[in-house]
């Protein structure tokens, strides 16, 4: 992770942390790393997207790049289209699950994979040292909003079955999925109830989508739906709800898909990739089904790196980033939802009986801080972490980490005893707040 890039690209409040100048420098840096590149840009629905798209495009064009603006496209769609049109880079303008005042920049390589830490550091070096590429011949800019049709057709063709007869609720979070997700599921024959499925960048992720699945629960109940799917702003996350209104997070979805793929002899090495945050119950239940799990650091790019290293099929995060590596190069909420719907069709039983795992209680808390790195290096904090992990040994765990995208310290306590989890988490919140005041 570099000075500017976090676990999922570069992100911040527009015109405070993330400015036109930074966007320009990132675009220009890409024209330094490769001569006369072709760069595809896609975005979610935020009001700042045109502003930052033009920033990246201007910097890239000043270095001689050909820039293609594909308009509103989910993150996974940009990765897919970058490969399809043989672009050198794909750039996503999105702050994913964050609210409308935030935005971000993610970069994919020509194979549709997110840039690794070393590649991001190369970009940073270009603009930290004010290195610019002013090519004698300015590059070009064009808009092609029809490209998304290729991604839409890919999603439709990924389904083994018609979804006719199934009622499915979609919460599109006012984001990049707002048009394409309902269209794809209707083309597949489902009776679709679409919520928060209009172009509204001001309200993106606002009390809706993958971060607020309780709204999806209410709609599944109201419409007596077979299942519901909630996406985030750029549609790379998926949280599901079964026919009984039970929320199914990313860990649980991975568990269900892993069992399904194994039953079809399509789960390579009978192994999946999770993260340090993956619920212990998922690992235990996978093991009971003859499936191993490898843990990585939190961040879907680390999950992907392990999938590629070990040549595995499936991995992801509790937050709903799910990578079906044999089909796609990055997390794709819509593709994952299609997979889950097909599981229901092929097994001819309700989602609740397919994904029947019961996760151990987790208490998650976030503390906004001034300097998250100084706090993480605090000796006082380290001692408390060691103490509580000693108390939880064999029955649970405590995790403290700095957010990769926000000025927050994240706390997770997991065990079968929710009261104990809450007590430890609250103690850690108080400690972190005290340390924050001191630093």
Angle in degrees, CA 8, 319, 298, rounded to 5 = 50
Is residue 82, in this structure, part of any structural domain at all?
yes
Do 110 and 239 belong together in one domain? no
Whether 2 is in a domain gets the answer no
- Indicate if the pLDDT at residue 117 is higher than 90: no
pLDDT tens for each residue of 77-96: 999 999 999 999 999 999 99
Reference 177, options 118, 237, 255; nearest CA is: 237
CATH of the domain at 230: 3.40.120.10
200 in a structural domain: yes
Residue 2 has pLDDT above 60, yes or no: no
Residue 126 domain-assigned (yes or no)? yes
Q: How many residues does the chain have?
A: 439
Kindly indicate the confidence band of residue 3, based on its pLDDT and cuts at 50, 70 and 90.
very low
Domain match, 35 and 171 both: no
pLDDT score, position 127: 72
Three-state SS for 119?
A: helix
Judgement on whether residues 133 and 163 belong to the same structural domain of the protein: no
pLDDT at 124: 81
Q: Is residue 251 a contact partner of residue 320, using CB atoms and an 8 Å limit?
A: no
**One domain, residues 298 and 397:** no
Give the confidence band of 164 by pLDDT, cuts at 50, 70, 90. very high
Summarize the confidence of residues 179-204 as an average pLDDT: 97
Q: What is the arrangement of strands in the sheet containing 66-72, beginning at the earlier edge strand?
A: 10-13, 102-108, 89-93, 38-43, 66-72, 140-143
Taking only the tens place, the pLDDT of each residue in 399-415 is: 999 887 778 999 999 99
CB 236 within 8 A of CB 321: yes
Report CA 73 to chain centroid distance, whole Å. 14
Adjacent-strand bridge partners of 363: 413
pLDDT winner (highest mean) among 126-130, 186-190, 300-304, 432-436: 186-190
Q: Decide if 178 is inside a domain.
A: yes
User: Structurally, how many domains does the chain consist of?
Assistant: 3
Q: How far apart are alpha carbons 78 and 108 in whole angstroms?
A: 8
pLDDT tens, 263-286?
Answer: 999 999 999 999 988 999 999 999
- 111 and 75 assigned to the same domain: yes
Tokens 């044999």 belong to which residue?
326
Does 352 have pLDDT greater than 50? yes
Asked whether the CA dihedral 187, 173, 76, 247 is positive or negative, the reply is negative
Per-residue pLDDT band for 131 (boundaries 50, 70, 90) equals: low
- One domain, residues 303 and 419: no
In the block, tokens 């079955």 appear at 161
Cβ–Cβ < 8 Å for 105, 9: yes
Tell me, yes or no, whether 76 and 188 share the same domain.
no
Range of the domain at 71: 10-149
> Helix 148-157 to helix 177-187 angle, to the nearest 10 degrees?
40
**231 in the same domain as 208:** yes
Residues facing residue 238 across a β-bridge: 231
Residue 258 near residue 286, CB atoms below 8 Å: yes
**In the annotation, is 110 catalytic?**
no
User: Under 8 Å CB-to-CB from 408, ≥6 apart: which residues?
Assistant: 366, 367, 368, 369, 372, 402
For every residue of 15-56, DSSP letters joined together read TTTB-HHHHHHHHHHHHHHSSS-EEEEEE-S-TTHHHHHHHH
Is 3 inside a domain boundary? no
Assess contact for 138 and 197: CB atoms under 8 A: no
Asked if residue 364 has pLDDT above 70, the reply is: yes
Distance CA 232, CA 246 (A): 19
Among 82, 114, 149, give the residue marking a domain's end: 149
Whether residues 90 and 108 fall in one domain: yes
Q: Do residues 272 and 413 both lie within one domain?
A: no
108 phi and psi angles, rounded to 5 deg: -110, 150
pLDDT of residue 8: 64
Answer yes or no: is 67 within a domain.
yes
Asked if 165 and 133 sit in the same domain, the reply is: no
Listed residues 354, 371, 402: the one ending a domain: 354
In which element (H, E) is residue 80 found? helix 75-84
Where do we find the tokens 């765990």?
397
- Which pLDDT score is estimated for 1? 40
Catalytic residue among 58, 96, 336, 403: 96
Domain membership flag for residue 309:
yes
Which residue in the block uniquely carries the two structure tokens 């919460």? Answer: 171
DSSP at 212: -
68 and 140 fall within a common domain:
yes
Domain-terminating residue out of 302, 331, 354: 354
CATH number at residue 381: 3.30.310.50
* Predicted pLDDT at 404: 73
Q: What does the angle CA 297 – CA 300 – CA 302 come to, to the nearest 5 degrees? A: 45
10 Å CB burial of residue 292 (0-12, 13-18, 19+) is middle
């Amino acid at each position: 992770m570099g000075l500017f890039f976090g676990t999922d690209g570069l992100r911040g409040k527009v015109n405070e942390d993330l400015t036109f100048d930074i966007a320009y420098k990132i675009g220009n840096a890409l024209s330094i790393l490769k001569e006369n590149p072709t760069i595809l840009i896609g975005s979610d629905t935020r009001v700042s997207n045109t502003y930052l798209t033009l920033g990246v495009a201007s910097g890239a064009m000043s270095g001689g790049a050909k820039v293609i603006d594909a308009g509103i496209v989910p993150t996974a769609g940009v990765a897919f289209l970058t490969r399809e049109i043989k672009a050198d880079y794909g750039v996503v303008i999105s702050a994913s699950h964050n609210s409308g005042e935030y935005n971000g920049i993610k970069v994919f390589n020509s194979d549709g994979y997110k840039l690794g830490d070393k590649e991001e550091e190369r970009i940073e070096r270009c603009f930290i040292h004010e290195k610019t590429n002013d090519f004698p011949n300015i590059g070009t800019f064009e808009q092609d909003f029809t490209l998304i049709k290729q991604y839409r057709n890919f999603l439709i063709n990924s389904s083994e079955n018609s979804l006719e007869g199934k009622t499915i609720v979609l919460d599109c979070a006012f984001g990049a999925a707002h048009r394409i997700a309902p269209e794809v599921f209707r083309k597949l024959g489902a009776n679709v109830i679409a919520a928060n499925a209009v172009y509204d960048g001001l309200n993106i992720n606002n009390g809706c989508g993958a971060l607020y699945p309780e709204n999806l629960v209410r709609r599944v109940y109201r419409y007596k739906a077979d299942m519901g799917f909630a996406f985030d702003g750029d549609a790379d996350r998926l949280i599901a709800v079964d026919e009984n209104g039970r929320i199914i997070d990313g860990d649980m979805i991975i568990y269900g898909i892993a069992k399904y793929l194994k039953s079809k002899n399509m789960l390579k090495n009978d192994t999946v990739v999770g993260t340090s945050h993956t619920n212990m119950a998922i690992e235990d239940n996978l093991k009971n089904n003859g499936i191993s799990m490898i843990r990585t650091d939190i961040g879907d790019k680390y999950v992907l790196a392990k999938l590629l290293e070990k040549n595995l099929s499936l991995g992801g995060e509790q937050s709903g980033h799910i990578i079906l590596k044999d089909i796609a190069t990055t997390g794709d909420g819509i593709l994952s939802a299609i997979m889950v719907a097909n599981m229901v069709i092929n097994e001819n039983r309700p989602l609740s009986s397919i994904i029947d795992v019961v996760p151990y209680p987790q208490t998650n808390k976030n503390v906004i801080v001034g300097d998250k790195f100084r706090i993480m290096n605090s000796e006082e904090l380290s001692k408390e972490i060691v103490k509580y992990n000693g108390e939880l040994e064999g029955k649970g765990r405590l995790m403290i980490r700095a957010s990769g995208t926000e000025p927050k310290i994240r706390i997770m306590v997991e065990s079968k005893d929710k009261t104990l989890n809450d007590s430890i988490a609250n103690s850690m919140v108080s400690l972190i707040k005290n340390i924050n005041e001191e630093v």
